[in-house]
Amino acid sequence: MKKTFLFTSLLILSSSNFAATINNKSPQQDQLGYSYGYVMGRSNAETLKDINLDAFIQGLKQGSSGQKATLTDEEMAKALTQYKQKSEAKQLDEFKQTAIENAKVGDAFLAENTKKAGIVTTKSGLQYQVLQTGQGKTPKLTSKVKVNYEGRLLNGTIFDSSIARNQPIDFQVNQVIQGWTEGLQLMQEGAKYRFFIPAKLAYGEIGSGDTIEPNSTLIFDVELLQVLP
């Protein structure tokens, strides 16, 4: 009897504290409001973790209805600036830590990789493996070449592939990352090499885009199709 009463009390409290669930039978205005709120929440999930949602909703309601804010413009600007500075400092710390960890992983990989048969290490630290020899021209620093390639991270993630796109690319040898510039000048037309490129010869401490993190060691399979006129 007591358990039934407690369950009923909780049910009443729950129904009084929460709005009805929105579904495809709800009024269009409710569906619109829910959809807008959900998309906003999903898109800003990281930021919303750090704020009081009740305060956010209060500010949203007052701002959208033209009510006078309970904070001055200067006070709101200060709060937003402080949050931005704190957030950027946290991101910078995480970025630096990621760079340190990737450098350690990359160094360990290259040190072990150089012990394997068929791996050649140049003075710069570039490592390469000949998958297929070529018999044509060898490009120079200012040569324009046509290549097929596939790039991946040490964990096997493929981040770019002209092979998958079935679309070779043309470029000048000295207009790409250092590891490629050096490696391509070791190849002849028709050759296929695998480059193991340390971060300092790739995208360094900055990285590239969302996939290539700072201090990432990269692996590229490259086929030199042609040294262009």
Q: Write out the chain's pLDDT in tens, 229 residues.
A: 444 444 344 333 333 444 678 899 999 999 998 898 899 889 988 888 888 988 988 998 899 899 999 999 999 999 999 989 998 998 899 999 999 999 999 999 999 999 999 999 999 999 999 999 999 999 999 999 999 999 999 999 999 999 999 999 999 999 999 999 999 999 999 999 999 999 999 999 999 988 999 999 999 999 999 999 9
φ, ψ (nearest 5 deg) of residue 194: -110, 120
Query: Could you give the 3-state DSSP secondary structure of residue 1?
Result: coil
Query: Could you give the 3-state DSSP secondary structure of residue 162?
Result: helix
188, burial (CB in 10 Å: exposed 0-12, middle 13-18, buried 19+): middle
Sort strands 144-152 and 169-172 into parallel, antiparallel or unpaired: antiparallel
Rounded to whole angstroms, the Cα distance separating 20 from 224 reads: 63
Q: Which residues contact 123 (CB under 8 A, 6 or more apart)?
A: none
Q: What per-residue confidence (pLDDT) applies to 19?
A: 60
Of 31, 29, 79, residue with least CA distance to 56 = 79
Q: Which one is catalytic: 30, 107, 160, 221?
A: 160
Residue 195 falls in the annotated catalytic set: no
Of 194, 193, 192, residue with least CA distance to 219 = 194
Domain boundaries, the chain: 2-70, 106-228
Residue 30 falls in the annotated catalytic set: no
Q: What is the pTM of this model?
A: 0.72
Q: Is 143 within 8 Å of 226 (Cβ atoms)?
A: no
Rounded to whole angstroms, the Cα distance separating 53 from 67 reads: 19
Q: Which one is catalytic: 128, 195, 196, 203?
A: 203
Q: Which residues contact 67 (CB under 8 A, 6 or more apart)?
A: 61
Q: Which one is catalytic: 107, 109, 177, 221?
A: 177
Q: What per-residue confidence (pLDDT) applies to 95?
A: 93
Residue 149 falls in the annotated catalytic set: yes
Residue 34 falls in the annotated catalytic set: no
Q: What per-residue confidence (pLDDT) applies to 49?
A: 85
Helices vs. strands in the chain: H and E counts, helices first: 7, 7
Q: Which long-range contacts (CB under 8 A, 24 or more apart) does 108-111 make?
A: 109/154, 109/196, 109/217, 110/196, 110/198, 110/217
Q: Which one is catalytic: 128, 149, 193, 195?
A: 149
| Domain 106-228 is found in CATH 3.10.50.40 | yes
